Amino acid sequence: MSRIAALAGNNYFILFLLFFGWILAYLDRMVISVALTSIGSDLHLEASSLGIVLSSFFAGYALMQIPGGWLADKYGSKRIMIVALIMWSLFTAMTGLAWSLMSLLAIRFLFGIGESGFPAASSKAIAEYFPKAGRAKAQSAMLSSNAFGAALAPLFAAPMMIWLGWRKMFVMIALVGFILAVVYAIFLRKPVQRGDDSAKPSEQSMSLKDLLQTPTMWKLVVAWFGLDVVLWGFASWLPSYLLKVRNLDLLQAGYVASLPFFAGGIAMLLGGWLVDRYFAGREKYFAIVVQIAGVIFLYLMFTTKGLESAILYQILSAFFLYAGFAGIWSLPVKILPTEVMGSASGMINFGGQVAGFVSPMVMGFLITAFNGSYDAAFWFLILSAVISIIACMTLGNTQKSLQTRVAG
């Protein structure tokens, strides 16, 4: 018992649990991208229908982002994360039981609702367990799981599909989620109120209504929407692109599709450190520069003829785009009080999940409309990145803007 208590009192062990929870969340939602070709073949679905399937998860996920953040603020991060783990694991298992397009749409929509409380609750947990001075690095470390989870999904899914088939693969992954829910129940302790987090009077008056009426928050929502369109489109369709356009086999595509996201995970860890050390108060400039670099390499990726150069460019594109992830998400954990961290995270992530709904579906329709060509779909991603860059350019002094709005 004393060893359990010691682990529960260790913030970095808690960060590891949050990181692993995010890894599992990304595995559960991203392995379907690797299974997409097999699912389409078994259920007789074309690219446009499969794009809707990918987007149906994000419809439910986006719908509950702001309510999920409010619930995390009201009931605490631990309860919401455990409920989310149980719910998304249940619908992961049910994905393997789908028998038609409509059943798959319903299951993935409910999957999104079930998982929706986890992002805001985990960001609130960072605010609950870490002092303000260490939150940006802790948040970047936790959210680097987004890239690492996307990297592990094809490496894990491809051999599992060959061994078990796509249906049993989903059931096996679901079992891990149920086990992790038990681990969370045992090891996540009640957070202690921190002296450095005792809010000023103006901060204590901040509410969800204040956040919804603050233009700066909506600029962050748009910035995250634009970037996440790129990240979700990239993650959702890259395995199929490698299979159909670059003519790789399933194992090769799984391996190559994982490389950009390993690079992205490293970029997020590095980005969190760079933002804290060199871009404090200038986070928007960091996000702008790295996104411009990411867009350039994305263009080079789908226009180059050589396979080796395409792989190199996709790795470099993901590296810079995921660094932008760290730049945007460093802002809320630095400047907002713990009391509204769940609501603020839910609000910003709402933009990202609307992007997750729009991106795979639009790309699927564009691929179908252009007779299997992915070029128009990638141009759509570039346009979305430009929207994010413009939104970042409009950001002023974010902290001053928020404090002025609340004080007023």
- Provide the pLDDT for residue 201: 41
Tokens of 304: 């180059």
pTM across the whole model: 0.71
Angle between helices 307-335 and 398-407 (to 10 degrees): 30
- Provide the pLDDT for residue 288: 92
* Cβ–Cβ under 8 Å, residues 69 and 221: no
pLDDT of 337 above 80: no
* Cβ–Cβ under 8 Å, residues 116 and 96: no
Kind plus residue range of the DSSP H or E element containing 404: helix 398-407
* Cβ–Cβ under 8 Å, residues 177 and 25: no
Question: Predicted confidence band at 406 (pLDDT cuts at 50, 70, 90)?
Answer: very low
pLDDT of 203 above 70: no
- Establish how many alpha carbons lie within 13 A of residue 7's alpha carbon, considering only the half-sphere containing its beta carbon: 11
* Cβ–Cβ under 8 Å, residues 30 and 92: no
How far apart CA 363 and CA 373 sit, in angstroms, is 10
Residue 31 is which amino acid?
A: V
Tokens of 243: 């299979």
* Cβ–Cβ under 8 Å, residues 236 and 359: yes
For 36, 84, 308, the CA distances from 379, given in Å and listed in that order, are 22, 35, 21
For residue 166, which of 39, 52, 33 has the smallest C-alpha distance? 39
For 61, 80, 91, 128, 278, the CA distances from 73, given in Å and listed in that order, are 18, 10, 25, 11, 31
Quote the distance between the C-alpha of residue 40 and its chain's center: 25
pLDDT of 399 above 70: no
pLDDT 10s digits, 5-20: 445 457 788 888 998 8
Question: Predicted confidence band at 326 (pLDDT cuts at 50, 70, 90)?
Answer: confident
Percent of the chain with pLDDT over 90: 18
For residue 141, which of 27, 316, 18 has the smallest C-alpha distance? 18
pLDDT of 319 above 90: yes
Q: Who contacts 390 (Cβ-Cβ below 8 Å, separation ≥6)? A: none
* Cβ–Cβ under 8 Å, residues 374 and 302: yes
Tokens of 137: 């690095």
Place of tokens 């910035």: 223
Please calculate the CA angle 101-103-104 and round it to the nearest 5 degrees. Answer: 65
In degrees and rounded to multiples of 5, residue 130 shows phi and psi of: -120, 145
- Of 36-40, 185-189, 205-209, 344-348, where does mean pLDDT reach its minimum? 205-209
pLDDT of 247 above 60: yes
Average pLDDT score over residue span 47-63: 79
- Provide the pLDDT for residue 198: 47
Q: Where are the domains of the chain?
A: 2-189+205-407
pLDDT of 176 above 80: yes
- Provide the pLDDT for residue 200: 45
In order, the DSSP letters of 243-296 are HHTS---HHHHHHHHHHHHHHHHHHHHHHHHHHHHH-TT-HHHHHHHHHHHHHH
For 18, 237, 262, 334, 383, the CA distances from 331, given in Å and listed in that order, are 19, 29, 24, 5, 24
How far apart CA 301 and CA 316 sit, in angstroms, is 9
- Provide the pLDDT for residue 92: 87
Chosen CATH of 2-189+205-407 out of 2.70.70.10, 3.20.20.80, 1.20.1250.20, 3.50.50.60:
1.20.1250.20
* Cβ–Cβ under 8 Å, residues 311 and 259: yes
Percent of the chain with pLDDT over 70: 86
Average pLDDT score over residue span 72-101: 87
Average pLDDT, the chain: 81
* Cβ–Cβ under 8 Å, residues 230 and 384: yes
pLDDT 10s digits, 209-235: 777 777 888 888 899 899 999 988 887
Tokens of 147: 């890239």
Tokens of 224: 């995250």
pLDDT of 314 above 90: yes
